Structure 1
Amino acid sequence: MIIIRNQFHIAFYAAALAISISILLFTLLQKRTDKSQNRWFLCLLLIITLNSISEISTAVFEIIGNESDYNHFMLLASQNSYFILHTALCPALYNYVCSVTGKNRRREFARGMLLQVPFFITEFLAILNPVFNWVFYYDENLVFHRNNAELVIYWAAIFYFILSIFEILFAWKAVTKRKSIALIYFFFITFAGVYIQYKFIDIKFELLAEALALMGVMLAIESEDNRIDADTHIYNRLALQADLNNILTMNEKATIIFIKILNGKTLERITRSSNYDLLTTECAEFLKTLVPRYKIYHPIKETFIIICDKSDYKHIDNLTTAITNRFNNVWNIAEASIKLNAIVLKADTSNELCSVDDIMYISDSIIPSTIAAENIMDWILRRSEIEQAIKRNIINDNLEVYYQPTVYLDDYRIHGAEALLRMQDNTIGYISPEEFIPIAEQIGLVEHMDDFVLREVCRFIKYDIEPKDNIDCINVNLSVIQCLSPGFFEHIKGIVDEYGIDHSMINFEITETVGAEDYDVLSIVAHNLKAAGFSISMDDYGTGYSNMEGIFSLDFDVIKIDKTILWNAENDKRGKVILENTVKMIHDLDCKVLIEGVESEKHLNMLKKLNVDYLQGFYFAKPMPKSQFIEYLRK
Structure 2
Amino acid sequence: MSISSISFDAAALLCSLMLFFFAITDRIQRRVERSIFLLMLLNNILACLCNVLDFNFWRTALYHGNAVQANLSREICDMIFYASQISLAPLYVMYLVSLTGAQHVLKKRHHVMIMTPFFVMLAMILTNPWHHGYFYLDAYAGYHRGPLVFLVYVEVFIYILFGIFFVYRYGKNMQTKKKAALLSSIVFASVGSVIQYLVPWLMVELLCITLSYMAVFLFVEYAKSEYDVACKCYNRYGFIEEVQKMLAIGLEYTIISFRIINFSEHEKVIEVEALQKMSEEIVSFLREQNPMNKIYTCDRAQFCIILQDGRKEEVSRIRETILSRMKQGWEVCGQEIDLQVSLSTFVIPKDFSNLRDIMNAVTRRYNKKGHQVTVYEGKDLNFLVRERYIETLLDEALDNGTFEVWFQPIYSFEKKRYVAAEALARLRDRDGSLISPGEFIPIAEKSPVILKLGRYVLEETCRAFKEYRLLEKGIQYIEINVAQRQLYHTGIGEEFKEIVEGYNVPFSCINLEITETVAEDESKRIKKVLEGLKEVGFSFSLDDFGTGYSNMSRLFNREFRNIKLDRSLLLKAQKNQSAGRFLEALPGIVHSMNAKIIQEGVETEEQLEYVRRMESDMIQGFYFSKPLPMKDFADLVEEM
2:423 and 2:272 mapped to 1: Cα distance? 45
Instruction: For 1:31-430, list aligned pairs within 5 A.
Output: 31-32=27-28, 34-63=30-59, 64-65=61-62, 67-109=66-108, 111-292=110-291, 295-310=294-309, 315-369=314-368, 373-374=375-376, 377-409=381-413, 412-426=416-430, 430=434
The Cα offsets for residues 418-465 of structure 1, whole Å up to 9 and x where unpaired, read as 011222354997443333333433334433322222222122212322
TM-score (norm 2): 0.91
Instruction: Flag the 1:264–1:437 CA change in 2: closer, same or farther, 3 A.
Output: farther
1:398 and 1:291 mapped to 2: Cα distance? 51
Residue 525 of structure 1, CA deviation: 6.5
1:592 and 1:229 mapped to 2: Cα distance? 56
Instruction: Flag the 1:383–1:368 CA change in 2: closer, same or farther, 3 A.
Output: farther
Contact 2:293 2:306 in 1 (8 A): no
- Which 10-residue stretch deviates more, 61-70 or 177-186? 61-70
2:310 and 2:420 mapped to 1: Cα distance? 65
The Cα offsets for residues 348-403 of structure 1, whole Å up to 9 and x where unpaired, read as 11211111111222232233536974585234444444445444544444432111
- Equivalent of residue 455 in structure 2, options 451, 454, 457: 451
Residue 33 of structure 1, CA deviation: 7.4
Matched position secondary structure for 1:158: helix
Residue 246 of structure 1, CA deviation: 1.0
Instruction: Name structure 2 gaps, 5 residues minimum.
Output: none
Question: In the alignment, which residue of structure 1 is the partner of 2:611?
Answer: 607
Instruction: Flag the 1:6–1:406 CA change in 2: closer, same or farther, 3 A.
Output: same
Contact 1:511 1:546 in 2 (8 A): no
Residue 410 of structure 1, CA deviation: 5.6
Question: In the alignment, which residue of structure 2 is the partner of 1:16?
Answer: 12
The Cα offsets for residues 153-183 of structure 1, whole Å up to 9 and x where unpaired, read as 4333322221111111212413221221111
Amino acid paired to 1:218: F
Contact 1:404 1:623 in 2 (8 A): yes
Question: In the alignment, which residue of structure 1 is the partner of 2:625?
Answer: 621
Instruction: Flag the 1:535–1:32 CA change in 2: closer, same or farther, 3 A.
Output: closer
- Which 10-residue stretch deviates more, 42-51 or 562-571? 562-571
1:437 aligned to 2:433?
Answer: no
1:311 and 1:405 mapped to 2: Cα distance? 57
Amino acid paired to 1:58: D
Residue 514 of structure 1, CA deviation: 4.0
- Which 10-residue stretch deviates more, 339-348 or 540-549? 540-549
The Cα offsets for residues 460-485 of structure 1, whole Å up to 9 and x where unpaired, read as 21232255422121111123444465
Instruction: Name structure 1 gaps, 5 residues minimum.
Output: none
Residue 492 of structure 1, CA deviation: 3.1
1:597 aligned to 2:601?
Answer: yes
Instruction: Flag the 1:40–1:591 CA change in 2: closer, same or farther, 3 A.
Output: same
Contact 2:342 2:366 in 1 (8 A): no
Contact 1:101 1:174 in 2 (8 A): no
The Cα offsets for residues 594-616 of structure 1, whole Å up to 9 and x where unpaired, read as 11111122222222322322111
Matched position secondary structure for 1:217: helix
Contact 1:519 1:550 in 2 (8 A): no
- Equivalent of residue 467 in structure 2, options 463, 468, 477: 463
Matched position secondary structure for 1:518: coil
Amino acid paired to 1:209: C
Residue 52 of structure 1, CA deviation: 1.0
- Which 10-residue stretch deviates more, 487-496 or 525-534? 525-534
1:30 aligned to 2:30?
Answer: no
Instruction: Flag the 1:361–1:214 CA change in 2: closer, same or farther, 3 A.
Output: same
The Cα offsets for residues 397-422 of structure 1, whole Å up to 9 and x where unpaired, read as 44321111111236752112101122
Matched position secondary structure for 1:289: helix
TM-score (norm 1): 0.91
Amino acid paired to 2:247: L
1:105 and 1:569 mapped to 2: Cα distance? 65
The percentage of counterpart residues that share the same residue type is: 27
Matched position secondary structure for 1:560: strand
Amino acid paired to 1:197: Q
Amino acid paired to 2:343: V
The Cα offsets for residues 315-350 of structure 1, whole Å up to 9 and x where unpaired, read as 111011111111232101222111111121111112
Matched position secondary structure for 1:247: helix
Amino acid paired to 1:401: V
- Which 10-residue stretch deviates more, 259-268 or 277-286? 277-286
Contact 1:417 1:475 in 2 (8 A): yes
Question: In the alignment, which residue of structure 2 is the partner of 1:507?
Answer: 511
Amino acid paired to 1:200: V
Amino acid paired to 1:129: N
Instruction: Flag the 1:131–1:467 CA change in 2: closer, same or farther, 3 A.
Output: closer
Residue 277 of structure 1, CA deviation: 2.5
Amino acid paired to 1:251: G
1:530 and 1:96 mapped to 2: Cα distance? 62
User: What RMSD over aligned residues (CA atoms) do the two structures have, in Å?
Assistant: 2.8
Instruction: Flag the 1:392–1:280 CA change in 2: closer, same or farther, 3 A.
Output: farther
1:529 and 1:516 mapped to 2: Cα distance? 17
- Equivalent of residue 478 in structure 1, options 478, 482, 486: 482
The Cα offsets for residues 272-302 of structure 1, whole Å up to 9 and x where unpaired, read as 4443323222222211212338711111122
Amino acid paired to 1:287: L
Instruction: Flag the 1:467–1:461 CA change in 2: closer, same or farther, 3 A.
Output: closer
1:427 and 1:276 mapped to 2: Cα distance? 51
2:611 and 2:514 mapped to 1: Cα distance? 24
Instruction: Flag the 1:267–1:133 CA change in 2: closer, same or farther, 3 A.
Output: same
Instruction: Flag the 1:622–1:298 CA change in 2: closer, same or farther, 3 A.
Output: same
1:400 and 1:368 mapped to 2: Cα distance? 35
The Cα offsets for residues 116-160 of structure 1, whole Å up to 9 and x where unpaired, read as 222222111112222443432123354433335434443333222
Contact 1:235 1:294 in 2 (8 A): no
Amino acid paired to 1:71: A
Instruction: Flag the 1:515–1:321 CA change in 2: closer, same or farther, 3 A.
Output: farther
2:69 and 2:537 mapped to 1: Cα distance? 105
Contact 2:67 2:141 in 1 (8 A): no
1:423 and 1:299 mapped to 2: Cα distance? 34
1:622 and 1:594 mapped to 2: Cα distance? 16
The Cα offsets for residues 297-316 of structure 1, whole Å up to 9 and x where unpaired, read as 11112211111235666511
Matched position secondary structure for 2:233: coil
Residue 47 of structure 1, CA deviation: 1.5
1:116 and 1:470 mapped to 2: Cα distance? 84
Count of residues in correspondence between the two structures: 631
Amino acid paired to 1:10: I
1:334 and 1:16 mapped to 2: Cα distance? 47
Instruction: Flag the 1:532–1:313 CA change in 2: closer, same or farther, 3 A.
Output: closer
Residue 528 of structure 1, CA deviation: 6.6
Amino acid paired to 1:39: S
Residue 547 of structure 1, CA deviation: 2.4
